[in-house]
Amino acid sequence: MEKRELSKAEWRDKAEGYCARSEHCAADVRRKLYEWGAPTDLFDQIEQSLYANDFLNDDRFCRAYVHDKVAYQSWGRIKIQAGLRALELPESAIRAALADIDEAQYRKNLRALIASRRTDAPDKLLRFLAQRGFTLEEIQKEAR
């Protein structure tokens, strides 16, 4: 059976459905369009339409990303910031989302990670926490 080509509107509708299911950024949508085999000349037009209709919103995505990484994966600020920068999101949106981190939850996560690795040698614990994205200052403050 031969596959028919989708129209621009059908590609847009498919991308809107993808964005409606969960929060995504423009890089996610572009990657998905590529995987689906959409013509690359439509990527910019579809992206603009998604932004115009609020299916894509960089501030909203950054806030959701930061919340999820803190709440579910116990990441530190450095790792979260690197993840958002890798998605080529605006620096202003990244800074605003990082400023909204729930400090109590963030410190609780760091203390729990430290407690779970208390038997590790101090240098091994420090490397582990640094890989999770915590700064030396944050680690020293909570490890007291």
| 2 located within any domain | no
Note whether 45 and 66 are same-domain residues: no
Task: Decide: helix, strand or coil at residue 144.
Answer: coil
Domain range for 29 is: 8-56
Residues 81, 128, single domain; the answer is yes
> Is the same domain home to 64 and 128?
yes
> Hey, what amino acid is at 22?
S
36 and 88 assigned to the same domain: no
Q: Which residues contact 110 (CB under 8 A, 6 or more apart)?
A: 74, 76, 129, 134, 138, 139, 142
pLDDT tens, per residue, the chain with 144 residues: 556 788 899 999 999 999 999 999 999 999 999 999 999 999 999 999 999 999 999 999 999 999 999 999 999 999 999 999 999 999 999 999 999 999 999 999 999 999 999 899 999 999 999 999 999 999 999 877
Output the pLDDT for position 11.
94
Q: Which two tokens stand for residue 16?
A: 């809107």
Return the number of other C-beta atoms located less than 10 Å from residue 126's C-beta.
17
Query: Is 28 part of any domain?
Result: yes
Please say which residue of 23, 41, 56 terminates a domain.
56
Biggest alpha carbon–alpha carbon distance for the chain: 67
**Which residue, 40, 56, 72, sits at the end of a domain?**
56
The model's pTM: 0.91
Provide the domain count of the chain: 2
Residue 3 covered by a domain = no
